[in-house]
A and B are shown apart, each in its own frame.
Chain A
Amino acid sequence: MNKKLTLEEVTGKLGRFGTVEQARFNRIRVSMEPDTIRDAIIAAQGDLACERLLAISTADNTETLELIYHLIGPHRTVISLATRLPSHLPKIRTISDILPPAGIYERQIHDLFGITFDGHPGLNRLMLNEDWPEGEYPLRKDWKPEPGRFYGGIREDRS
């Protein structure tokens, strides 16, 4: 197993994309603009040997939706690339072509948060049932079930 990555090493390779900070002894976080994420991931894959995608975490900050891509490699240091998208029009380019496991995570995020991943080969439903109403994203903070609306399952007979 290789040595852990240091903050300096990561700043050297990814510093041009955004602010680099040490979140914990083996977690380094880089915050950046949405349009640089893809290049940053390619750079992390190439220069920092990040060969695996641990997860794509999502959080709703009301005005913005946050996406955090956690990458890891033989150095066993988690590089978290974070970005914010505007809640009213959350859109970002897919990374499923450069990191195949992202495909299924992006489908999940699209389902629950309504973030569109441009260029995803099949952004179909994954988590929510097929009769779930379009345009409702249950993990957003402002989401509340609307009384009287049908959210799937068996329809109650209202006779």
Chain B
Amino acid sequence: MAHVVIPVGPQHPALKEPVNFRVVADGEKIVRLEIDLSYNHRGIEKAAESRDFIRVLPLLERVCGICSHSHATCFAKGIEELMQLEIPQRAQYIRTIVAELERMHSHLLWLGVAAHEIGFNTLFMWTWRDRETVQDILEEISGNRVNYNMNEIGGVRCDISPEQAGSILKRLPLLEERIGEYVKMAKSQRTMLMRFCGVGKLSRAEILRYGAVGPTARASGVDYDARRDDPYLIYNTIPWNVVTDEDGDVFGRTKVRIGELRESLGMVRYCLENLPGGPIRVQAPKTAPSGGEILSRYEAPRGELVHFIRTNGTDKVERLDIRTPTLANWTSVAAALVDQNLADIPVIVAAIDPCLSCTSRLVVADRKSGKTGNISWNELRNGVCRIRPGSNRI
């Protein structure tokens, strides 16, 4: 059968940002994937060069709404290291609490999206309801559900009062119970097992070859985690474990994320119970040293985030180069999709928790006849793919 090119994208309301895939398929099997990310370039790196450090933090929070704290912390800790600032312990603890709450809300969101992609909407509703608890906690701490704006160069913007800490600690047992429920479900729920097991499998060698990061890599036994490998904040002083799995498929990635939910919850609890006293920020100098250069690494919920920062003696950066975890993961998605079923595109793409979107509109083109037509996301999700008459020629 002739190869068929299926453009997927660029818009889809269920996911966050636009991306266009050109999926080359032979029958129901995927041969190759080509990616176009050009729909969302907002020039943030360029804009960062013209704003001082105070104004650049809110800008960086807007790189991504889900992992906003990751970008701001990654940048702040890089600049602070260049300025040789000693950040108070209390601020480090608060940053860690917010970082781990962010990881929890991101992973719960992912679990819901993945469940939705396989048509298991009950789980989607459950995880998103539980995610609300995390969002409420974040709102209580920072005043915002997303884009918390917790960081300042030199510390954090607002403190956690003993009352707040107490009220957060009271809500953790419920979350813990729910996470326990998801662990049980992942092991025994038939729908999840059927749609996740063996789908989008990547071996350890493939992960290393294609450079995947985060839970995608750890699900294949590649135990890279910047929190342990390049300790920042207080990760080398609090108890936690790197979660890995050997399955390497979407099921493995689910298990890793659920495991990380547990670890994050443990870390939040530990930090709240052992929150040291003292100030929450120090006065930072206005300017960063000239000729400073740093590669700041941070384990965002989706994987390792890298900010390459150069300073020039002023209050602005000379260069800020952001490498997001999703960009690092695309190569592995393209590899994982080869020889898989068209129907598994949503779940395999969703399995890396892409910070970009897929589509509700698909154009199918038959190269031989030159015919094109549309198929909906639902048809794709249900594994139905048929060419309807259309007029455009690709």
**Chain A interface (Cβ < 8 Å from any Cβ of B):** 1, 23-24, 26-27, 51-55, 57-60, 68, 70, 72, 76, 78, 80, 99-101, 103-105, 108, 112, 122, 124-130, 138-139
Contact = CB atoms under 8 A, between A and B. Distances in A.
Contacts of B230: 26, 76, 78
Nearest to B330: A104
Given A23-B293, A26-B230, A105-B323, 14 more contacts: A27-B295, A51-B208, A53-B211, A54-B306, A57-B308, A58-B321, A59-B310, A68-B308, A100-B210, A105-B327, A125-B38, A126-B37, A128-B41, A139-B46
B215 to A, nearest CB: 16
A70 B327 contact: no
Interface in B298-351: 304, 306, 308, 310, 318-319, 321, 323, 327-328, 330-331
Contacts of B35: 104, 126
B306 A127 contact: no
Contacts of A126: 35-38
Contacts of B39: 129
24 contacts: A24-B294, A52-B208, A54-B304, A54-B306, A54-B323, A55-B308, A55-B328, A57-B323, A58-B321, A59-B318, A60-B319, A68-B308, A78-B295, A78-B297, A100-B331, A101-B210, A103-B331, A112-B45, A124-B36, A125-B36, A125-B38, A128-B41, A130-B38, A139-B45
Given A70-B306, A138-B43, A128 B38 contact: yes
Contact of A80 (B41, B295, B304, B310): B295
Nearest to A131: B38
Contacts of A103: 331
Nearest to B206: A100
A125 B41 CA distance: 12
A104 B327 contact: yes
Contacts of A99: 211
A105 B331 CA distance: 10
B209 interface: yes
B224 interface: yes
